[in-house]
A and B are shown apart, each in its own frame.
Chain A
């Protein structure tokens, strides 16, 4: 007798605008099984889970639960089919306690009694070895505590099918191990588990089967014991990656930016940068590697003057005069007025680097609108720059006034990078500049970074793909939990070495 899958997707498609986020997805997961969904950023993993959990509604296709065709039009429907989802961005009400969040949306017979629920929450937590204070407010919690709440929320509802969207991205290695123990325990309970991740070693570690998505399309499913990293990588990226990125030797590298003993706290008061020290040199690309959320964003934002530094400092050495300038407590405006051409391509392109509802021309103005005397804008220069960027970087847009929000990801990034390099920067920082970009656009960006290097800028490149980091950078600074765990020569190091440094246990001085 053939086993019936707990959950099956047949030919599921979903479009956003004119673009397919998911196209023809087929998927099966059985009880007592952990299925990993593997795919690069933007391959449609989250969209797929969102359709299963009723957040989005598929445009085409059919979902089956235990063999029955079902319609999941809302999260409520999903709960009815005992599907639980743990989102990457936590869906918690900040001003509620853990218990209040956990029981949210549930119904039960009898009196509404928070004490009773707290006790039940505690029981579940104890059973799986979680540590949690049921009466703590969410806004007082750390990230991993919040995730614990999310997981207990799903367990509380007695879900049979659990979906976790990149649960390990924000966890320390120990926390990840703990999470995987919980997952195995749930699997032993006969639950079907779907986990999204793009870390291969985790996939091999925890799952029974791996399904691979690429650019919204379903590529295939393999049994974990029968596969290996290179096969999975190949399925994920298409053909074997032979990165053909040029790398010239740095010409006359000189110290340009000296970052010394930098400490920084985030809004919640947790230390996100811990005594970070490194030097960026002219004419070289300095790669920054690390697990997502290890402090990369804060590092760049601190240098750019967007976040206050608690202690430590940043020194800039003027290439023309050799004069040393201190960037501590300077706003972006002040840095610009000091004559320092520091360009920064932030991670959040439309939310920070650009204004989505403005056209290319007006976005070019962001850096230069104060130029010229008087109260009026001098648009001419920006218009020319916009035309130039569109022409030289092959930005696909109807015209320079077309809102950049409606451009595709690659074109958005070209506009942003095009603007940032236009100032002929002496320091060029880019955070995840190729995230979500297709291969062609990515190469355009690599080329532009190399060009900046050739022009003598100190390029700081925060990346997530180790292959790219190794192929493009001259040196790599590895960051783990806000501290520098190692600085390596990109020409001689190996992926394994960097990977180890990324997850290296670091001394914790609280």
Chain B
């Protein structure tokens, strides 16, 4: 009458690293297969051809490669900013707003001081103001988290929209020409505050800076006293208190850093590629970066791969959309599917399913 349940789930004690990566790779393959089926169903196109288009769209030409690298660098930079916060188990969902705050500050300086100060000073002012703005945006929720334990996920989330509206305000306030509703390209003629091309590549300085930030974050979390404190606080606040770490200080300090790096991303977006500011400057990357960071298990090196993967998919899917006259949102669907699979695959790494034993049934 009562049978043992069909299966039950137990936690895995440990898993070899190659097995866990095999599971992840399998998840991506399954996701691509499903995405292919979806593509076939929606468009009736040959999935293989579609994937070929995708690769072509992402890395088909030198120009596309550079565009992909730039996009990856920006996404990576935000994910890096989130890394210290996430390692501390501070769920900063406010990167979008922190990037915008930084971008806004940089754009404001670019716009207002472009003609007043020499270019090198302009860069420094833009850079610093972006850092300060991003840090302020990050530290406000951290302060309340430290003081009263205010839920940081929801707080940082709300901060995004305040940043968006503030950008909206300034965009209208400073719009060129007045009433057009957009700031337009800032310093179009003088190119003051534009990050110059290096070796003829517009994005190379951006990419180099992000590479430096990658190294910095990696070193910071792995080899510094601060990084160690972050890890201890993230793993166990009680242990942190036992050892005498000032948890509140660590929370606030770490969010200043997290916000500041987001601010730098804003600076790079404004000074290095867009040369303007809009509500869409962060373009949802603040949210995508959360997934990138999480998929990489908060490890900056893996993050290069995960951000590349996501950007590759988005660029590729964008090409499919143009090529087959679909809509650009197709990329979001594919991204969503892939993330669902990778996120889901973690279960099979952490847990094991034990099926009902055969011999038991035979006995009955």
Contacts and interface: CB of A to CB of B under 8 A. Distances in A.
A356 B244 contact: no
B224 A18 contact: no
Contact of A348 (B229, B238, B243): B238
Interface residues of B, number: 26
Contact of A358 (B225, B231, B243, B245): B231
A332 B236 contact: no
Interface string B214-243: 000000000111111101100110110111
Contacts of B3: 71
Interface string A49-83: 00000000100000000000111010001000000
B2 interface: yes
Nearest to B227: A377
B2 A71 contact: yes
Contacts of B239: 351-355, 366
A315 interface: no
B241 A306 contact: yes
A365 interface: yes
A332 B2 CA distance: 56
B4 interface: yes
A17 B13 contact: yes
Interface string B1-19: 0111100100001100000
Contact of B224 (A57, A306, A333, A376): A376
B4 A73 contact: yes
B244 A333 contact: yes
A355 B2 contact: no
Contacts of A336: 244
B244 A355 contact: no
B226 A366 contact: no
Contacts of B246: 331, 333
A442 to B, nearest CB: 23
B232 to A, nearest CB: 6
B282 to A, nearest CB: 30
Contact of A355 (B13, B14, B231): B231
Contact of A366 (B8, B224, B232): B232
Contacts of A332: 241-244
A355 B232 contact: yes
A356 B225 contact: no
Contact of B236 (A306, A331, A356, A365): A356
A344 to B, nearest CB: 8
Given A351-B236, A375-B225, A376-B224, A71 B242 contact: no
Nearest to A18: B13
Contacts of B244: 305, 331-336
Interface string B246-272: 100000000000000000000000000
A370 B225 contact: yes
Contacts of A406: 13-14
Contacts of B245: 333
Contacts of B235: 355-358
Contacts of B5: 57, 71, 73
Interface of A: 17-18, 57, 69-71, 73, 77, 304-306, 331-336, 344, 346, 348, 351-358, 362, 365-367, 369-370, 375-377, 406
10 contacts: A17-B13, A351-B238, A352-B236, A353-B239, A354-B239, A367-B243, A369-B229, A375-B226, A377-B223, A406-B14
The 4 closest A-B pairs by CB, nearest first: A332-B244, A333-B244, A17-B13, A71-B2
Given A73-B8, A375-B224, A377-B228, 7 more contacts: A71-B5, A351-B238, A352-B238, A354-B239, A357-B235, A377-B224, A377-B225
